Structure 1
Amino acid sequence: MLTGSSLEPWVFISHTGIRENLFEDKPRGGSTKVATEKKLKKSLQLINSRLQLTMESGTYTLGYEPTLKMILHGKTELVTLANNCPALRKSEIDYYATLAKTGVHHDSGNNIELGTARGKYYRVCTLVTTDPGDSGIIRILPEQTGEKK
């Protein structure tokens, strides 16, 4: 192999000062990251579609205080939290949900996206599913999030 001088067009020095050969086969590091991102996106779409079906065929309640009341009375099947829910509220709901052995899903969207995805025109920080209806979200969610039922 040639030693690489400024006249060799296939060797260049990157902005970090490293000499690189343009024709070397390098493993592409982003392929596994892209595959995991696609799997995560697909599972989130599945969860969102199941939650949408719950909105149509099941029963649910929106809001922080009704969420706490439903958890304390033991009437919940699943609690969904927005990602920008305040930390104190999130930890309190997580604590009570673990005591009540209820599943908790931390949604990837913020409270505006959670409300809009559920067909509401206002912000929703917490959503409680009391009856999943035809969605079957309770069966698939522990597999997706790693929770134990």
Structure 2
Amino acid sequence: MAPAAKKPQVKKNAENINTRLSMVMKTGKYVLGYKQTLKALRNGKAKLVIIANNTPPLRKSEIEYYAMLAKTGVHHYNGNNIELGTACGKLYHVCTLSVTDAGDSDIIRSMPSETA
């Protein structure tokens, strides 16, 4: 009975981040992709980094390292890069996403507490 109770919470959480991501896409500023995310982290512009769960381990560890140096929150998206691209409203795969300005969304305040 306990596993059945956990499943709606996971789905609700996934819907929650997807709605926040769509709000960022409409009202905020963001960069998509590995190279652009690294550039935003090095320049100190990134406020939150979202990584798909099928990102290659070397890329994932490099992004996490740069985020640690920049004191930026990292959220591991509970879906692959196709699902992350769909959540962003794009028709292509998105492995990494960096939010530079959240706009009307509260994604930056809510995500680091969930990842920690």
Query: Normalization by structure 1: what TM-score?
Result: 0.74
Q: If you compute each CA radius of gyration, which structure gives the higher value, 1 or 2?
A: 1
Which runs of 5 or more structure 2 residues have no equivalent in the other structure? none
2:58 aligned to which of 67, 84, 88: 88
Report the equivalent of 1:135.
105
For residues 113 and 43 of structure 1, the distance between their equivalents in structure 2, rounded to whole angstroms, comes to 14
- TM-aligned CA deviation for residue 61 of structure 1: 0.6
Aligned to 2:22: 52
Instruction: Work out which structure has the larger RCO, using CA pairs closer than 8 Å and 6 or more positions apart in sequence.
Output: 2
2:77 to 68, 84, 107: 107
Counterpart secondary structure, 1:80 = strand
The percent identity for this pair of structures is 58
Deviations along 1:109-129, one digit per CA (max 9) or x if unpaired, are 111111122111111111110
Find out whether 1:65 has 2:38 as its counterpart.
no
Match of 1:28 in 2: none
Partner-residue secondary structure (3-state), 1:105: strand
In structure 1, list runs of 5 or more residues that go unmatched. Answer: 1-30
RMSD (Å), alpha carbons = 1.0
What CA distance in whole angstroms lies between the structure 1 residues aligned with 2:14 and 2:113? 12
Please give the secondary structure, in 2, of the residue aligned with 1:123. coil
Alpha-carbon distance in structure 2 between the residues aligned to 1:113 and 1:119: 10
Q: Secondary structure at the match of 2:90?
A: coil
Structure having the higher helix fraction is 2
Residues 34-89 of structure 1, C-alpha deviations (whole Å, 9 max, x = no match):
22222122122111111110000000011111110110111001111111111100
In 1, are the aligned partners of 2:75 and 2:112 still within 8 Å (CA)?
no
Q: Which residue number in structure 2 is paired with residue 8 of structure 1? A: none
Q: Is 1:75 equivalent to 2:53 in the alignment?
A: no
Deviation at residue 108 of structure 1 after TM alignment: 1.2
